[in-house]
Structure 1
């Protein structure tokens, strides 16, 4: 069952509203701000082994704990910051995931220096298959397995599949020209 249809089957109205907000306003829409791209990567990494609902409920806490996903600030975190994060009950207190966020921020700074932005680095790599993206992310970032990479790239418009074609949000996303549609157009023009 697609995420689009699964939301409709949720009985709890609060739960449904939480998912509907993400589905209707964020999931699959292109992100052009590097800090927000980094924030989405943090959220996807932290979802590993947990439900997306837990992450959605904790999103504001993640944003606050990680300096509003400011890449430069997170890259400069000290050991004291690591311990602060590991003691924060508002986020996922997993040492590997906390370390990944800090180290990935440092990596993104390097990519920004080389390519101008994290987004431009992603664009430079596009198009790739899911497997090619996964290999690239595993080589470049920490704590990025296949499912994390797939969800991250779908959620920011680099891979298709965030919405079913009969979903009204699908049509809205097409207007924003996600990268996956660009690669489909390239295939059609060959």
Structure 2
């Protein structure tokens, strides 16, 4: 059953957005992971990489492939990924378990090297969290949820200057949502405010 906001009330009586209400995998991801703070380098690099791979695809596709991605990309250890060579690229392009897009594969390797360079400036996680806005959206309906913000535009520009690729403003806003930098849970969702970053 859904209400005027677009929230779907599940069998457990809890309200979730439509995208998290049907597929059990997405529902579990929404209930346990999405929007929770990520502050470590490896965790942030994984999410940055997966958001880039998601570009043009559904998040469900990426989530189903996440175990294969982790295996293929050395658990997203940036030190190991930064050492990937042409042979690794060909291995990845032959791996049916992941999204086989050469530009995105190369971007992940490029971004791993850029992540290592950022350690001199406090690291990837702190760098990205440095673009946290002063306020977070308070969406009543899914239509109220932004797809980018001045902060995501600035973050995308700053990361590109640091040598990152596949980091457009929309992709970076999705990352900011996923790691808790903004809270775009609908006001009626049972997950609103659970990150501890924002009061509402």
Per the shorter chain, which TM-score range? 0.7 to 0.9
Matches of 1:167 and 1:42, distance apart in 2? 27
Structure-1 residue corresponding to 2:155: 133
Q: Distance in 1 between matches of 2:62 and 2:94?
A: 17
Determine the structure 1 residue equivalent to 2:187. Answer: 165
Corresponding residue number in structure 1 for 2:39:
32
Q: How do 1:45-60 residues align onto structure 2 when only pairs under 5 Å count?
A: 45-60=52-67
Give the secondary-structure state (helix, strand or coil) at the position aligned to 1:169: coil
CA RMSD of aligned residues (A): 2.2
Q: Quick one: distance in 2 between partners of 1:108 and 1:71?
A: 7
Deviations 1:7-26 (A, max 9, x none): 4653xxxxx21001110111
Number of the residue aligned with 1:13 = none
1:106 equivalenced with 2:113 (yes/no): yes
Q: 1:160 to 1:65 in 2, by over 3 A?
A: same
Shift of 1:126: 4.0
Tell me the residue number matched to 1:149.
172
Equivalent positions of 1:51-90 (< 5 A) are: 51-90=58-97
- Compared CA separation, residues 2 and 62, structure 1 to 2 (3 A): farther
User: Which whole-Å CA distance do the structure 1 matches of 2:160 and 2:118 have between them?
Assistant: 15
Gap regions ≥5 residues in structure 2: 1-5, 9-15, 134-149
Structure 1, 136-145 or 120-129: larger mean CA deviation: 120-129
TM-score (structure 2 length as normaliser): 0.78
Count of residue pairs the alignment pairs up: 171
The structure in which a higher percent of residues are helix is 1
Name the structure 1 match of 2:30: 23
Question: CA 1:155/1:117 → structure 2, altered by over 3 Å: closer, same or farther?
Answer: same
Long gaps (5+) in structure 1? 11-15, 185-190
